[in-house]
Structure 1
Amino acid sequence: MTASAADARRLAAASLAAGDPTGWFEQLYAQARDGQAEVPWDVAAPSAHLRALDLPAGDGRRALVVGCGPGRDAEHLAALGYAVTAFDISATAIDLARGRHPSSSVDYVVADLLDPPVAWRHGFDLVLESNNVQALPADIRARAITVPGTFVAPGGLLIVLAAATSRVDSDGSGPPWPLTRAEVDAFASDGLRPISITQVDAAGTTLPTRWQALFTR
């Protein structure tokens, strides 16, 4: 296990024990800002699995990035021509994203996936959920899975990228807690239907099998 993964698991365990399943995200970003921890997903390049989708030009269509962190995927979509809103539950993560991309067209906002703005309902042509739900424990995961689809406009696209369960840590610890096929299928809620659900190779990573799922309304 890398040091950054250990930091995330240490803070997640403490947060879960305190009955706060999402508070560790802010703690992790705040400690990383102060040089006391590392964020394991804070890497320079946009997600390789997002780039592999070879999305068409956005042409000003609205996109929403769930749990955007430092903004690498949000900036990728903006570069494709989407009008991007990107949110994170961590205010420190949003400050980091804004600081790293001071001239960005992305609207970075603090918001909670489990209590999103009502105005976002059916409001986006493209919604990206990448690796967020897999960081949530079972007792709130089922609820969280139903939310990203509510953001998708008629004719829009939901992209779900997540670790799959074909290989998990031997002790079952997390985060991440890889998603089952049934959990991925459950993203097809609120009138969405699946376009494709596949497992893709991510050789060389800690969890080398991943879901790539596309849904539309």
Structure 2
Amino acid sequence: MQTFDPIEYKKMVKQYQEDNKPLDWFDTIYKNANGDYKKVFWADLEASPYLINWLKNNKINKQAPKAIVIGCGVGDDAEALSDFGFEVTAFDISPTAIELCKKRYPNTKVDYLVANLFEYDKSWLKNFDLVYECNTIQVLPGDYRIKARVAISNLLTIGGYVLVSCRSREENKNLTDIPLPLDKKEINQFVQSDGLEEISFLAYDDNQTPSVPHFFAVYKRVK
């Protein structure tokens, strides 16, 4: 795929999922950009306005609080967190994505790393004040979604926040979509299964035509 073809993209992802290799296709997307981060089709090339709004209105009272970005892509959200005073670790399973980040931000303070959400360093456990998850769970199938959610929750220190940004859908609808958006029941598992506390929850439609429904949820580890 030298240019983005949504049909071919979905076919590719489906095949990897059926082969039980649901993590092996990500690097392909970044390699197809041929070194130009602007050609990564899913990159917005700006930090999430919902993330920025949350950062403007919420303060973590620590000296240099720690943040981690899941599947950081080409780095926009990670750089925003750094600009707001966080010590940021940002990782992606795609080596090419990390190369693009380092090329794009040669003077960055962010620690960009190649890492796997399911096999991250044990020193990361319960070590971050803020975890930012954007659109990772929705591209995974089946039990991988549960494992991803648990792995994300386990990064939070006591008093830490996880911000979850994703596409949304009604329960029992669009079950074969790729990516498969989260429904309210699934995202609620951050509370019901992982023991986090819901701080805020926003359901909204974006400005695309046609509009796409999303969730932006904030959860806190209280114990």
Q: TM-score, normalised by structure 1?
A: 0.87
Q: Decide whether the 8 Å contact of 1:11 with 1:27 is kept in 2.
A: no
Unaligned 5+ runs, structure 2: none
Q: What pairs with 1:157-168 in structure 2 (closer than 5 Å)?
A: 157-166=161-170
Q: Decide whether the 8 Å contact of 2:89 with 2:110 is kept in 1.
A: yes
Give 2:9's aligned amino acid.
Answer: A
Q: Decide whether the 8 Å contact of 1:8 with 1:39 is kept in 2.
A: no
Q: Per the alignment, do residues 77 and 8 of structure 1 end up closer, same or farther by CA in structure 2, a change over 3 Å counting?
A: farther
1:17 aligns with 18
SS at match of 2:154: helix
Q: What pairs with 1:1-217 in structure 2 (closer than 5 Å)?
A: 3=4, 5-6=6-7, 8-33=9-34, 39-53=40-54, 54-56=56-58, 59-166=63-170, 172-174=176-178, 176-188=179-191, 189-204=193-208, 208-217=212-221
Q: 1:39-83: per-residue Cα shift (whole Å, max 9, x none)? A: 322232112222232354665110000000111100011111111
Unaligned 5+ runs, structure 1: none
CA distance in 1, matches of 2:99, 2:9: 19
Aligned residues: 213
Once the two structures are overlaid, the 10-residue window that deviates more, 7-16 or 60-69, is: 7-16
SS at match of 1:42: coil
CA distance in 1, matches of 2:88, 2:35: 29
Q: TM-score, normalised by structure 2?
A: 0.85
CA distance in 2, matches of 1:170, 1:127: 28
Q: Per the alignment, do residues 206 and 172 of structure 1 end up closer, same or farther by CA in structure 2, a change over 3 Å counting?
A: farther
CA distance in 2, matches of 1:206, 1:18: 32
Q: Decide whether the 8 Å contact of 2:35 with 2:100 is kept in 1.
A: no
RMSD: 2.5
CA distance in 1, matches of 2:185, 2:43: 29
CA distance in 1, matches of 2:217, 2:112: 25
